[in-house]
Amino acid sequence: MNCFNRISGFQILNLEEVETLMHEIHAQDRDEGKYGYPYVYHCLRARDNVELLWQHVPQHLIDAYCRDFPEDLDPETTAKETALLHDSVENHPKKYNIDKLAIAGVASPTLHGVCALTRPINDNRKYDQLVEDVIATGHLPAIVAKMGDNMDNVHPDRNLLLKASNPKKFVRIKPKYYHAIRRFAEHLEIDMAVVRDLIHEQATPLPPASERLLAPDKTHPKDFRDTRISPS
């Protein structure tokens, strides 16, 4: 199914169809830049993190969001869809913009969520400010989706690969993601001890090393699975 063949206004995509759309958008994308795993796995794990997090979001925050955004009848699904599409426009600003997502059938609340998480071209804000700006939108699904994104960014298995492929980047970015997670957890009133446990409970693990696309001069480590950090 090609979701971009849809005509706007005739049918709104459900969660499963949004996942299909995400696969279309990121079909050629790889984690860790040009090489690495298919990027879709990151989006799927961000979605899974949303499902785990949502169980811990206080009801009064959900009620407040529903009062402010009454058109959103299913905020948890909106959060999952936002997580699936959180990098779609930012990674492909010319090919997949918000208007095209709307034409494909993405629901309006999810479009708002994606907008909240999309960094404009030539945006020079520091990451801490981006986090605060996401919180300031009051869009609860976007906030939870961004936290789920950051939780995958600090997952031990994923960090193991980043540390091996780009140690300088690993040292630079890991603290900012942990700071963002703590800030989101504070806003969502979720204890960080709970968050640390949730980080290891993703339902979509990293794929086998054989699915990783490596540079021509690289080979898959034979002991990759033995060296992965245990989630237990």
For the chain, domains (ranges, CATH) are 12-205 (1.10.3210.10)
Q: How far is CA 169 from CA 32, 118, 173, 226, in A?
A: 10, 22, 6, 24
pLDDT for 166 equals: 73
Q: What percent of the chain has pLDDT over 70?
A: 81
Give 74-85 pLDDT, tens digit per residue.
999 999 999 999
Predicted TM-score (pTM) of the model is 0.85
Residue 207 has pLDDT above 90, yes or no: no
pLDDT band at 33 (very low <50, low <70, confident <90, very high): low
pLDDT for 6 equals: 46
pLDDT for 228 equals: 31
Give 151-194 pLDDT, tens digit per residue.
998 888 777 777 777 778 778 888 899 999 999 999 999 999 99
Task: Give residue 148's Cα distance to chain centre.
Answer: 6
Residue 42 has pLDDT above 80, yes or no: yes
Q: Which residue, 55, 57, 79, is CA-closest to 188?
A: 57
The region, left, alpha or beta by phi > 0 then psi within -120 to 50, assigned to residue 29 is beta
pLDDT band at 216 (very low <50, low <70, confident <90, very high): very low
Residue 231 has pLDDT above 60, yes or no: no
pLDDT for 172 equals: 82
pLDDT for 167 equals: 77
pLDDT band at 31 (very low <50, low <70, confident <90, very high): confident
Residue with tokens 């169809």: 17
Give 101-149 pLDDT, tens digit per residue.
999 999 999 999 999 999 988 889 999 999 999 999 999 999 999 999 9
pLDDT for 212 equals: 64
Q: To which H or E segment does residue 187 belong?
A: helix 167-188
CA distance 217 to 24: 29
Residue 86, SS3?
coil
